[in-house]
A and B are shown apart, each in its own frame.
Chain A
Amino acid sequence: MTRTAANSASVAAKPRLTTSAMIASIASEGQRTKPAPFGHALIALARSRPDIVGMTADLGKYTDLHVFAREFPDRYYQMGMAEQLLMGAAAGMAHEGFTPFATTYAVFASRRAYDFIHQTIAEENLDVKIACALPGLTSGYGPSHQAAEDLALFRAMPNLTVIDPCDAHEIEQVVPAIAAHRGPVYMRLLRGQVPLVLDEYGYRFELGKAKVLRDGAEVLVISSGIMTMRALEVAQALEADKVGVAVLHVPTIKPLDAETILQEASRSGRMVVVAENHTVIGGLGEAVAGLLLRSGVTPKFRHIGLPDEFLAAGALPTLHDRYGISTEVMSTRIKGWL
C-alpha cells in the first residue's frame, strides 16, 4: 500500500493556526480531501429511498445538510435552533414511517437533547439517524463546542448504535449502511473539506466491524474517527525507527466488535494503545479495556485520549499537541512506552 507524500509532509511541517475559530479544518496541509461527503452520500441514497428526510436545528450549512436541501428542498426540515424539538420531531417523523437524518453539533445532541433522544427515539427503537458535527476536539472554540464526552454519553444509551468514522471515504459508506440498519444511530460527522485516507487501504466500512488497516509486530493501535488517520501517520513515522505499528480501526463504537479486538489484542508481544478523540472517561479506551479485562486478555495497555478537564480555546493544531492527540505527540509517547 502506498501513502501519499502529502501525509508525510503534513507530519513534518504542519502550519500553525492562530485563532480559536469555531470551524477549523482537520485536514493537514496538502492532504487529499472531499467536500461535504455526508451531504452528497445522503443525496445519492435519498434518490432510491423516498423515506429519507433531512432535519436540522439551524446547522444545515455546518453539517453539510445544505447540499441535500438544495437537491431535495421538500425533504428538508429546518427546525430552528431547538435541539430538543429537533429530536422529538425526528421521532415523530420516524413514527410516520420516514427515516430522518437529524443533524446538529455533537455538543448539542449529547448534552442538550439527551433525554429527548433517550425517551422519544432510543426507548422506542425508532429509525432516526443522528449525525453530529464537531465531535471530540475538532473545534478550537472552547468547551461550548467541544464534544469531548459524546461517545461516553451515547454508549450508555440502550438501543443506540454509535459510529465514529475516520474520513470522507468512510462517511460515504456509513450513510447507506446506517440507513439500512433498523434502529437509532448516532454518527460523528466530519464536514466541509474532509480528509480522504482510507481509500488507499482498500477499506470497506461494515457496520459493527473493526478492520485491520495495517499490520505491525511491536504496537497495536486501536482507534476510531480521526485518530485512525493519526495512527496511520504514527505508524508511518515509526516505521523509520523500525517500530512496527499495526492499526485496528474501530468505527463502530457500539456494538463493539469484540471478536476482532480480542483476536488482535491476544497476539503476544504487542503493546496495545487505544487512541481516541474523546475524554479518557467512558469512550473507546475504557470500552476496550473492559472487554480485555473481562476476557482475561491483559497485554501491556496504554490509552491516548483527552484529559478529564474543560479543554482550552485555541488553534486546533496547538490543542491537539497540548492534549496529546497530534501525530507528533502520539509518536513520541508511543516510542517512550516501548
Chain B
Amino acid sequence: MQSNPLGHKVDLAERAYRIRRNALKMGEVQGQGYIGQALDIADVLAVSYFHAMRYRPEDPAWEERDRFLLSNGHYAIALYAALIEAGIIPEEELETYGSDGSRLPMSGMASYTPGMEMSGGSLGLGLTIAVGMCLGLRRKSSAARVYTLFSDGELDEGSVWEAIMSAGHWKLDNLIGIVDVNNQQADGPSTQVLAFEPLVDKLEAFGWFVQRVDGNDLDAVVAAFDAARNHAAQKPRMIVCDTRMGCGVPFLEAREKNHFIRVDAHEWQLALEALEAGRTQ
C-alpha cells in the first residue's frame, strides 16, 4: 500500500491492473490501439496518478495541480485509462474511444479531453512545452511540478535535445521527465533506428538528475519518483524507465515486438482474462 499526497491509501498494483484493463477495453472498442505501449506504461501512470501527483479529479484545471504532459500522443489510450481510474473522465466514456464525436480521440489533444494538458501526435513537442510551463510556474512561485512522459523514439527529434539543454540551463527543478524505453519505434528497435545510448550519461552531461529503473517494477518506480521529487539539487529530473511492451498480458508480451502490436478480434477478451489471471489482490 502506498500513500499519495491526497492522503488516500491506494494499492498501486490494483491501480495499474485497472489502468491496463481500461486500456484493453478501449482497444477492444476499436479493435486496435497502441495497446503494447499502454500495457508497458501502466505502472508508471499508476505511480504518477496514485502516488506522486497532486490534482483534483473534480477540477482538472486546478491551478495548484501538478501538470502531466503526454508528449507521445499515441499513448493517449494509456492516459485515458489512467484518467478514468483517477475519476477525471467518467468510466462510461471508455465505450466511445476513437469514435466520431468522442472526447477520447486516438491521439491525445488538449482541446478534446479533460486532464489532457497538451496536443501530441507530432513527436518531440512535450519537453519544449514543459520548459515554458516550468518557467511560468517559477514566475508564479508555484510549487506545482510538470511531469512529462515521452518515448525513446522521441530522442531522435532535435527539439527534445533543445529542451533537454534548456531545462539544464534554467535548472528547472520543477520538471520531472519520464522517458519510456520500450526499445520499439515505428521502423524497429529504437536503439537500432538511431542509437541513443548511453542515455543516462548523456542526460547527466546536460545537467539533469537521472535515474534508470525497471518501469514495470512498481517499488522501483515509486522509489524513483520519490527520489526525483525529493532531490536537493536545483536540476531537472529524468526517470529513464525500461519497460516491456505488453506487460501484464503474457501472450502479448511474448508476441513479436512491433510498434503496433497486432491483436485479433477474439484476442481482446483473452487478453482481459490473462490480465485478470495475473491480478494481485
Chain A interfacial positions (CB closer than 8 Å to B)? 53, 77, 79-80, 82, 84-85, 87-98, 100, 115-116, 119-120, 123-125
Decide: A124 near B110, CB < 8 A? Known: A87-B128, A92-B129. yes
In this complex, what residue of B is CB-closest to A125?
B111
Q: Give A95 to B117 CA distance when docked, in angstroms.
A: 9
What would be 21 A-B contacts, judged by CB atoms less than 8 Å apart? A53-B139, A80-B165, A80-B166, A82-B159, A82-B165, A82-B166, A84-B162, A85-B159, A87-B128, A88-B131, A89-B135, A89-B163, A92-B132, A92-B133, A92-B135, A93-B132, A100-B132, A116-B125, A120-B119, A120-B125, A124-B118
Most buried by B among A80, A96, A124: A96
Q: Is the CB of A93 within 8 A of B135?
A: yes
Decide: A96 near B166, CB < 8 A? Known: A116-B128, A124-B119. no
Contacts of A115 in B (CB 8 A): 122
B52 at the interface (CB under 8 A from A): no
Main secondary structure of the interface of A (DSSP, over half): helix
Q: Is the CB of A92 within 8 A of B110?
A: no
Q: Give A84 to B118 CA distance when docked, in angstroms.
A: 16
Contacts of B121 in A (CB 8 A): 119
Separation in Å of the B139 CB from the closest CB of chain A? 7
Q: Is the CB of B136 within 8 A of A97?
A: yes
Contacts of B84 in A (CB 8 A): none
Decide: A92 near B131, CB < 8 A? Known: A84-B159, A116-B159, A123-B109. yes
Contact residues, B48-74 vs A (CB, 8 A): none
Contacts of A94 in B (CB 8 A): 132
Q: Give A102 to B127 CA distance when docked, in angstroms.
A: 18
Most buried by A among B162, B165, B166: B162
Contacts of A120 in B (CB 8 A): 118-119, 125, 128-129
- Those 3 A-B pairs whose CB atoms lie nearest each other, nearest first: A92-B132, A88-B128, A96-B136
Residues 100-135 of chain B, each 1 if its beta carbon lies under 8 Å from chain A, else 0: 000000000111000001110110110111111111
Q: Is the CB of B110 within 8 A of A119?
A: no
Decide: A84 near B158, CB < 8 A? Known: A92-B132, A119-B119. yes
Q: Is the CB of A95 within 8 A of B159?
A: no
Q: How large is the interface on B (under 10, 10 to 19, 20 to 34, 35 or more residues)?
A: 20 to 34
B140 at the interface (CB under 8 A from A): yes
Q: Is the CB of A85 within 8 A of B133?
A: no
In this complex, what residue of A is CB-closest to B136?
A96
Contacts of A87 in B (CB 8 A): 128
B275 at the interface (CB under 8 A from A): no
Q: Give A116 to B121 CA distance when docked, in angstroms.
A: 12
Contact of B132 among A91, A123, A125 (CB under 8 A): A91
Q: Give A79 to B134 CA distance when docked, in angstroms.
A: 13
B137 at the interface (CB under 8 A from A): yes
Q: Is the CB of B162 within 8 A of A85?
A: yes
Most buried by A among B117, B131, B140: B131
Q: Is the CB of B125 within 8 A of A96?
A: no
Q: Is the CB of B136 within 8 A of A92?
A: yes
Q: Give A79 to B167 CA distance when docked, in angstroms.
A: 10
Most buried by B among A100, A120, A123: A120
Contact residues, B25-84 vs A (CB, 8 A): none
Separation in Å of the B68 CB from the closest CB of chain A? 12
Most buried by A among B119, B128, B159, B162: B128
Contacts of B125 in A (CB 8 A): 88, 116, 119-120
Contacts of B118 in A (CB 8 A): 120, 124
Q: Give A116 to B166 CA distance when docked, in angstroms.
A: 16
Q: Give A77 to B170 CA distance when docked, in angstroms.
A: 10
In this complex, what residue of A is CB-closest to B157?
A84
Q: Give A179 to B231 CA distance when docked, in angstroms.
A: 39
B169 at the interface (CB under 8 A from A): yes
Contacts of A84 in B (CB 8 A): 124, 128, 158-159, 162
Contacts of A95 in B (CB 8 A): 117, 129, 132-133, 136
Contacts of A91 in B (CB 8 A): 128-129, 132
Q: Is the CB of A93 within 8 A of B136?
A: yes
Q: Give A90 to B125 CA distance when docked, in angstroms.
A: 12
Q: Give A53 to B140 CA distance when docked, in angstroms.
A: 13
Q: Is the CB of B122 within 8 A of A124?
A: no
Contacts of B134 in A (CB 8 A): 92
Q: Give A93 to B138 CA distance when docked, in angstroms.
A: 10
If A89-B131, A95-B133 are given as contacts, then 11 extra A-B residue pairs at C-beta distance below 8 Å, sorted by A number, are A82-B165, A90-B132, A92-B134, A96-B132, A98-B136, A116-B128, A119-B119, A120-B118, A124-B111, A124-B119, A125-B111
Q: Give A248 to B118 CA distance when docked, in angstroms.
A: 41
Most buried by A among B121, B140, B163: B163
Contact of B129 among A89, A98, A100 (CB under 8 A): A89
Most buried by A among B118, B124, B158: B118
Contacts of A90 in B (CB 8 A): 132
Q: Is the CB of B166 within 8 A of A89?
A: yes
Q: Give A95 to B137 CA distance when docked, in angstroms.
A: 10
Q: Give A85 to B131 CA distance when docked, in angstroms.
A: 8
Contacts of B137 in A (CB 8 A): 96
Q: Give A119 to B109 CA distance when docked, in angstroms.
A: 10
Contacts of B163 in A (CB 8 A): 85, 88-89
In this complex, what residue of A is CB-closest to B164?
A85
Contacts of A98 in B (CB 8 A): 136, 139
